[in-house]
Structure 1
Amino acid sequence: MLKIQELRELIKLVDHSNIDEFTFESEGSKIKMKKNKETTVQTVVENKAQAQPVAPVVTEVPQVAVQPAQQQTEQAATVATSPAPAADENLHKIVSPMVGTFYASPSPDADAYVKKGDKVKEDSVVCIVEAMKLFNEIEAEVNGEIVEILVENGQLVEYGQPLFLVKA
C-alpha cells in the first residue's frame, strides 16, 4: 500500500505530465487517476435505414481570455502615452545585483535614501535589497542625478532588474 506522501508525489507527477489517465495496481490495491480537461462532446447522427451505433467525436476547446474592446483600447493608450526614459543613452541604470525585496529606506519610519532629483556619488547608498534575511546596501556606482525610481518600496526585484535611472 502506498503512503500518503508517495500518493501525493504520484498525483503531482501525473498532473505535470501529458498523461490524461493513469492506473496503478499493487498488492490488491488499485489507484486510477484521470485529469479533468474541458472538452466538447459532439455526436454525429446520420439518418439511415439501419440503425448503427455512432461513436462520439471529442474536440478539445482551448480557453481564451477575451477582453472588452474598451479595456483593450485603454491598455493601448497607456502603452502609447508612457514615456520611454531608457531611450536617452546618457542615463545609467542602477540594477539589482540579486533577487530580493527592494527597500527605499533603512527602516519603515525613516526617509528614503534618495528621491527623484537627488544628486548621488559613486559610493552613495541608494537603497537596500533584502535577500534571505540579509540587508544589502546598493550603491549608485556613478556620479549624477536620480532621474527616475523604477520600483516601489517593498517590491520583489529580480537579478539585473533596473532600479534607478541616473543622469551621469
Structure 2
Amino acid sequence: MLNIDEIRQLIKLIDESSIDEFTYENEGSKIELKKRINQPVQMVQEAPVVSTQASPVQTQVQQSPVQEKPANQEAANAHENLHKITSPMVGTFYASSSPDVDPYVTIGSKISESTVVCIVEAMKLFNEIEAEVKGEIVEVLVENGQLVEYGQPLFLVKAE
C-alpha cells in the first residue's frame, strides 16, 4: 500500500496533468482519484422592464471557500507565523478514532512530528494524519464530521 507522502505526490502529479481520473490497485487496495470538472458559470440578467413589477435576476455563481481575515493586523500577522496542518486529501474529518473517545488533539496539545492529529476518511479508508511539525495546537479550524478539501487547513500550530 502507498504511504501518505506517495499519495500526496500522486495527487499533485494528477492535479498538474491533463488526466481527469486515475485508479491504482495493488494487493487488494484501491485508490481512485478524480478531478472536479468545473462547470461553466451561467449568468442571466433581466432586460429592462416597463411595468412596475420586475422579474428577479437569476444568477448561478461557483463559490470557492473563503477564509475570513482577522479583524486587526496583529491577529493577521500572528496567523501568518503559525504552521498549518492541511488535509492531504478530500474526505471527512474526524477528531478521534470513534465517537466515544477523546479527540487526538485539542487547543493547547503539545505535538511532535509523528503525533496523529486526526483521521480523514476517504472512500471508506480511514487515514491517520500526522502533525509533521513539533509544537502546540493553537486552533482547530474544522468541525468533527466536516467534509474537507485537499490542502484545506485543519489546525494551526505554534511551531517550536
Q: Distance in 2 between matches of 1:164 and 1:131?
A: 19
Q: Secondary structure at the match of 1:87?
A: helix
Percent identity over the alignment is 67
| Equivalent of 2:153 in 156, 162, 165 | 162
Runs of 5+ consecutive residues of structure 1 not aligned to the other structure:
1-15, 19-36, 44-58, 65-77
Q: Secondary structure at the match of 2:136?
A: strand
Q: How far off is 1:118 after superposition?
A: 0.5
The change in CA–CA distance for 1:131 and 1:118 in structure 2 (over 3 A counts) is same
The change in CA–CA distance for 1:103 and 1:81 in structure 2 (over 3 A counts) is same
Identify the residue that residue 9 of structure 2 maps to in structure 1: none
The change in CA–CA distance for 1:80 and 1:158 in structure 2 (over 3 A counts) is closer
Q: How far off is 1:38 after superposition?
A: 7.6
Q: Distance in 1 between matches of 2:113 and 2:70?
A: 34
Provide, for residues 90-113 of structure 1, a one-character-per-residue CA deviation record: whole Å limited to 9, x for no partner.
311000000000000000100000
| Equivalent of 2:77 in 71, 78, 87 | 87
Choose between structure 1 and 2: higher helix proportion.
1
The residue type equivalent to 1:113 in the other structure is Y
Identify the residue that residue 57 of structure 2 maps to in structure 1: 62
| Equivalent of 1:113 in 83, 94, 104 | 104
Cα RMSD for the two superposed structures: 3.4
Q: Secondary structure at the match of 2:126?
A: strand
The change in CA–CA distance for 1:156 and 1:146 in structure 2 (over 3 A counts) is same
The residue type equivalent to 1:140 in the other structure is A
Give the number of the structure whose alpha-carbon radius of gyration is greater: 1
Q: Distance in 2 between matches of 1:152 and 1:96?
A: 13
Q: Distance in 1 between matches of 2:121 and 2:50?
A: 55
Which 4+ stretches in 1 moved above 4 angstroms?
37-43, 78-86
Identify the residue that residue 119 of structure 2 maps to in structure 1: 128
Runs of 5+ consecutive residues of structure 2 not aligned to the other structure:
1-39, 60-67
The residue type equivalent to 1:103 in the other structure is Y
2:138 is the counterpart of 1:143: no
Q: Distance in 2 between matches of 1:128 and 1:85?
A: 28
Q: How far off is 1:62 after superposition?
A: 1.9
2:144 is the counterpart of 1:153: yes
The change in CA–CA distance for 1:121 and 1:152 in structure 2 (over 3 A counts) is same
Aligned residues between the structures: 107
TM-score (normalizing by structure 2): 0.55
Conserved? CA contact 2:70–2:76, under 8 Å: no
